[in-house]
């Protein structure tokens, strides 16, 4: 659903007999272009970022208390933010703010910032770090997160993850995402019912993304395709748009690493994280802001090289320069993982989230190179400005990378959610 923005223009009559009500507009003044009934709405539309789903509703006029009552009674459903502008009448502005809808400003104003803070109303205002477009993108993402169901497949806390949040109610309170837990055995039970013909059809669709089968057999890849179908069925059943899988617990029951299935889901726009609720939240955010797939994994800082790296097994094909060659999993001689060199020389954003959901570290850089490892197959190196600044600022366990510089939007998201953000 798009972010729905309601423009409100205050046009106050001249209070000749009511002194003390503030600076006002003289009603018989000549009309200016900004006074046209749709001027504010048109201006907002011109300022919206083109990649963000947003709708500007018809502009409303407020000139007296009866207009506030009429606004309240006629307000469209599901209004996400109001943009206020025009003449100053603190009493009327306060009554509109009391409607309980977040106020979005198009430009910074110290006067109105003080007014809004003193009144305790939710408001979002551009400044030297975050612009209007970034705030619109962040508010749209917050709305999307509050409507999101996500699967967590396996028990919590997850095995082999040191610093992620396993309090699903705490996640919902901060990010709005509703996690639905599913047993590993239920996923595998569905996987075993998928017919070969359906898995073959999936493999046919993957052909352009797969290069050589270096270690696994076609039968091994067919089993992963069946797992992909099972994940798709669970997502559809629960109306979920993202998932995290406790891979360690899954492979304890049946050695069927989900890496390739998750790679394909990410390429299809479905965030998929390895056992890490925090990474799923970050991945969802980065993917929506960048409009592309993400890579999550273990995070290492290389101070002498001024680089950081992300190291894992889930590589979305569109991040790479060639189809994925398929290998086994962690020297086991079984399982399926994919590798191809990543695109280099492009800007990238990397982000991690603290276990208590209170802080994000966001890093900008440029993809330098990638290499084919064995234990966690893909490792990508990102050039950054000052690696030494990160050594003692790290939060969380896994980090997530997308192509593109979306640091401003991530900073705006932190403000909208009430999460601290450190940007490097």
Q: DSSP characters for 280-323?
A: HHHHHHHHHHHSS--EEEEEEEETTTTEEEEEES---GGGBSSP
Query: Quick one: pLDDT at residue 331?
Result: 73
pLDDT of residue 330: 78
Give the per-residue pLDDT at 265.
98
Question: What is residue 348's predicted lDDT score, i.e. its pLDDT?
Answer: 98
Residue 337 host element (H or E): strand 337-339
| pLDDT score recorded for residue 17 | 45
Provide the CA 376 distance to its chain's centre, in angstroms.
25
Answer whether 202's CB lies under 8 Å from 210's CB: no
User: What is this structure's pTM?
Assistant: 0.92
Sequence ranges of the domains in the chain: 3-125, 143-423
pLDDT block averages, 10 residues each, the chain of length 424: 95 56 40 63 95 96 94 94 90 94 94 93 97 98 98 90 91 98 97 97 96 95 98 98 94 94 98 95 98 96 95 96 93 88 98 96 97 90 93 88 98 98 94
pLDDT computed for residue 158 by the predictor: 83
pLDDT of residue 319: 97
pLDDT for the residue 86: 86
What is the model's pLDDT at position 162? 82
* CATH no. for 3-125: 3.40.50
DSSP state, residue 342: B
Instruction: Report the CATH fold assignment for 143-423.
Output: L-fucose Isomerase; Chain A, domain 3 (3.20.14)
Report the distance separating Cα 152 and Cα 156, nearest Å: 9
């Amino acid at each position: 659903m798009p972010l729905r923005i309601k423009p409100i223009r205050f046009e106050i009559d001249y209070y000749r007999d009511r002194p003390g009500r503030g600076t006002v507009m003289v009603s018989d003044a000549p009309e200016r272009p900004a006074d046209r009934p749709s001027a504010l709405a048109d201006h907002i539309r011109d300022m919206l970022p083109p990649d963000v789903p947003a709708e500007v509703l018809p502009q409303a006029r407020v000139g007296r208390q009866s207009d506030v009552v009429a606004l309240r009674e006629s307000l469209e459903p599901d209004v996400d933010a109001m943009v206020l502008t025009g003449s100053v009448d603190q009493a009327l502005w306060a009554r509109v703010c009391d409607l309980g809808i977040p106020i979005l400003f198009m430009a910074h104003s110290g006067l109105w910032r003080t007014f809004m803070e003193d009144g305790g109303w939710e408001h979002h205002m551009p400044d030297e770090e975050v612009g209007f477009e970034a705030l619109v993108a962040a508010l749209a993402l917050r709305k999307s997160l509050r409507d999101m169901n996500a699967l967590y497949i396996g028990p919590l806390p997850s095995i082999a993850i040191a610093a992620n949040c396993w309090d699903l109610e705490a996640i919902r309170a901060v990010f709005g995402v509703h996690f639905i837990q599913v047993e590993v055995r239920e996923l595998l039970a569905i996987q075993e019912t998928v017919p070969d013909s359906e898995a073959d059809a999936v493999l046919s669709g993957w052909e352009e993304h797969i290069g050589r089968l270096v270690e696994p057999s076609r039968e091994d890849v067919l089993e992963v395709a069946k797992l992909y179908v099972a994940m798709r069925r669970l997502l559809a059943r629960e109306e979920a748009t993202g998932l995290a899988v406790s891979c360690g617990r899954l492979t304890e029951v049946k050695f069927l690493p989900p890496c390739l299935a998750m790679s394909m889901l990410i390429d299809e726009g479905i965030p998929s994280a390895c056992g890490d609720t925090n990474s799923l939240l970050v991945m969802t955010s980065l993917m929506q802001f960048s409009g592309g797939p993400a890579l999550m994994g273990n995070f290492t800082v290389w101070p002498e090289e001024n680089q950081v790296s992300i190291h894992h097994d889930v590589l979305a094909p569109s991040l790479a320069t060639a189809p994925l060659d398929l290998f086994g999993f962690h020297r086991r001689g079984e399982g399926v993982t994919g590798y191809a060199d990543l695109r280099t020389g492009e800007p990238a954003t990397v982000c991690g989230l603290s276990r208590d959901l209170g802080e994000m570290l966001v890093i900008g850089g440029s993809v330098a190179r990638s290499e084919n490892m064995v234990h966690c197959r893909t490792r990508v190196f990102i050039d950054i400005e000052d690696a030494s600044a990160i050594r003692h600022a790290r939060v969380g366990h896994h980090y997530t990378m997308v192509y593109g510089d979306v640091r401003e939007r991530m900073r705006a998201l932190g403000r909208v959610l009430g999460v601290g953000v450190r940007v490097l």
